[in-house]
């Protein structure tokens, strides 16, 4: 390594010596110039000028004789002078009326929507804002009563009688504006409190106002909680049956929804009679729902299973099983096997299906979800059936 360093230093020295011996020209220093080409190392102080920053003064570059002198005649053409007549046209003067619309320039201001627009529906943005402010003022009045309804009886003094008066007062404030409240975060909570703390007559009045919007409430982000409480606090069995009947008409569509499926599961788990539960399961079978009800009425067995129905009418077996197979596949793919209602449908399908290949395929797709099936009686039956169909490796 030391030898290499010495060689590189020696090469640098040789290059410097070659450059000094063969260079032709002058090199500038602070005190003058040295001519290497002639061999004269004397400092030529005559060519050195301190006024030029240490560089020699070159007279040849100071002034170019061949360069044309400045022609004063062409410097300024008076014929092309500024024409004052064309400088400003008074006929096209500044129009103050069209100069600036102050309403467009300020931040936060919007032009009103035209009639038939997407958001306007014939109303301007200010009119829409006023409508929203009316609803917000309504909610502000109701929040006071809502906070009182959340208090315990021992903290209120007079107890339940005072809560019924608060519910009556709140119902008078709302009037017919239930639709403006049921889809909002705070509005649906206020109506839940009215249903919970009101008397049976007050509960029935509130539910009669909102039962027409039951399907829409089930699909809302906040209102689906109100749909659950509406079924739970319904004062009469007739009103609960009416809500179930409305939901059963669209149950196969609603069960696929993120929020509506939670409401259907809540209603199924809160329903006491097996007859009403079986009706919710039969509603999935579409047009065969009426045939199942007729068969249940003729046999006087309200809990008739799908296998017994197909045994009585074998000509419908292929069509019914094909339809139910598609329903089961969709429910499993959506991850809804945790619901007890879906478990009851799968249980019916397993009991009625004779093709082992299809059952093994279903067991293979649901083998990782078996723990979620253990919450209900039908789910436990499905878990046992799949456990028997799976191989030794999957069982372990």
* Domains annotated on the chain, with CATH: 134-272 (1.25.10.10), 294-395 (no CATH)
Report the b/e string of 321-340 with b at 16+ CB within 10 A: beebeebbeebbeeebbbbb
55 is written with which tokens? 């560089």
Distance between CA atoms of residues 272 and 344, nearest Å: 15
Question: pLDDT tens, 100-153?
Answer: 454 444 444 444 434 444 444 567 777 776 665 555 677 888 888 888 888 877
* Helix ranges, 88-222 (H): 102-105, 125-149, 153-156, 160-174, 185-197, 200-210, 214-218
Predicted local distance difference test score (pLDDT) of residue 27: 46
Question: pLDDT tens, 153-180?
Answer: 777 665 556 788 888 988 888 888 888 8
Distance between CA atoms of residues 122 and 270, nearest Å: 45
Percent with pLDDT over 70 in the chain: 65
Paired residues of 51 in beta bridges? none
Question: pLDDT tens, 304-336?
Answer: 777 877 887 788 888 888 888 888 888 888 888
CB neighbour list of residue 138: distance below 8 Å, 6 or more residues apart: 173, 174, 177, 180, 181
Predicted local distance difference test score (pLDDT) of residue 30: 44
Q: Are 141 and 173 in contact (CB under 8 A)?
A: yes
């Amino acid at each position: 390594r030391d030898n290499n360093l010495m060689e590189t230093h020696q090469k640098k020295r040789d290059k410097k010596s070659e450059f000094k011996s063969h260079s032709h020209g002058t090199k500038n220093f602070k005190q003058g110039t040295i001519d290497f080409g002639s061999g004269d190392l004397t400092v030529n102080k005559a060519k050195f000028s301190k006024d030029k920053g240490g560089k020699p003064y070159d007279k040849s570059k100071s002034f170019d004789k061949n360069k044309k002198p400045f022609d004063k005649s062409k410097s300024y053409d008076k014929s092309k002078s500024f024409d004052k007549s064309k400088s400003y046209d008074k006929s096209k003067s500044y129009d103050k009326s069209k100069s600036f619309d102050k309403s467009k320039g300020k931040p936060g201001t919007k032009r009103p929507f035209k009639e038939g627009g997407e958001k306007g529906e014939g109303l301007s943005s200010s009119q829409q804002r006023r409508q929203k402010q009316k609803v917000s003022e309504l909610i502000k009045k109701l929040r006071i009563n809502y906070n009182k309804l959340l208090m315990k009886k021992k903290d209120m003094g007079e107890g339940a009688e005072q809560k019924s008066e608060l519910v009556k007062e709140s119902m008078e404030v709302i009037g017919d504006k239930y639709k403006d409240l049921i889809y909002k975060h705070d509005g649906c909570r206020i109506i839940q409190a009215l249903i919970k703390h009101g008397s049976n007559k007050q509960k029935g009045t509130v539910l009669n106002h909102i039962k027409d919007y039951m399907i829409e409430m089930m699909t809302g982000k906040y209102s689906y909680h109100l749909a659950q409480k509406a079924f739970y606090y319904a004062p009469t069995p007739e009103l609960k049956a009416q809500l179930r009947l409305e939901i059963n008409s669209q149950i196969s569509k609603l069960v696929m929804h993120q929020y509506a499926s939670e409401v259907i599961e809540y209603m199924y788990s809160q329903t006491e009679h097996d007859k009403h539960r079986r009706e919710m399961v039969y509603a999935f079978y579409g047009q065969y729902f009426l045939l199942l009800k007729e068969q249940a009425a003729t046999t006087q067995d309200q809990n008739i299973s799908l296998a017994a129905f197909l045994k009585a009418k074998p000509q419908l077996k292929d069509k019914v099983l094909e339809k139910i197979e598609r329903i089961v596949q969709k429910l499993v793919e959506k991850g809804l096997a945790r619901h007890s209602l879906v478990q009851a449908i799968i249980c019916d399908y397993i009991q009625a299906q004779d093709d082992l290949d299809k059952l093994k395929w279903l067991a293979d797709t649901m083998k990782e979800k078996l723990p979620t099936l253990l919450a209900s009686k039908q789910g436990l039956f499905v878990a046992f059936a799949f456990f028997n169909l799976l191989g030794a490796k999957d069982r372990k």
